[in-house]
């Protein structure tokens, strides 16, 4: 499902104008990205958590050149679905 399809679905379900829904969805995504880029997690009860994960430095191998590469410690965004979300998906997709 794309962002445009999400906007269309919300518009059909609520009757709110497409332009307003589009601005709300965009504002939501910008708020989540802004919060996570500052190192804060975002928790949506019943849906899931957008969390910032810290990855430790590690040694990797470049097998084509047969060399080792050091990957420095870094931070990545991640999504962890709520238990309700997981069970709903498991029930529907069998």
**pLDDT of the chain, 94 residues: tens digit per residue:** 999 999 999 999 999 999 999 999 999 999 999 999 999 999 999 999 999 999 999 999 988 998 999 999 999 999 999 999 999 999 988 6
CB 62 within 8 A of CB 41: no
Q: Tell me the pTM.
A: 0.79
User: What pLDDT, on the 0 to 100 scale, is given for residue 75?
Assistant: 95
What is the predicted pLDDT for the residue at 23?
A: 97
66 by Cβ neighbours in 10 Å (0-12 / 13-18 / 19+) ranks as exposed
The pLDDT of residue 93: 80
| pLDDT computed for residue 92 by the predictor | 85
Q: Which H/E stretch holds residue 79? A: strand 74-81
**DSSP for residue 39:** T
């Amino acid at each position: 499902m794309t962002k445009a399809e999400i906007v269309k679905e919300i518009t059909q379900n609520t009757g709110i104008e497409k332009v307003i829904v589009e601005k709300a969805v965009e504002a939501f995504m910008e708020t989540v990205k802004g919060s996570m880029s500052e190192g804060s997690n975002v928790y949506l009860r019943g849906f899931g958590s957008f969390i910032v994960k810290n990855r430790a430095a590690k040694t990797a191998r470049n097998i084509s050149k047969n060399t080792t590469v050091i990957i420095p410690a870094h931070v990545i965004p991640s999504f962890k679905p709520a238990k309700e979300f997981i069970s709903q998906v498991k029930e529907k997709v069998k």
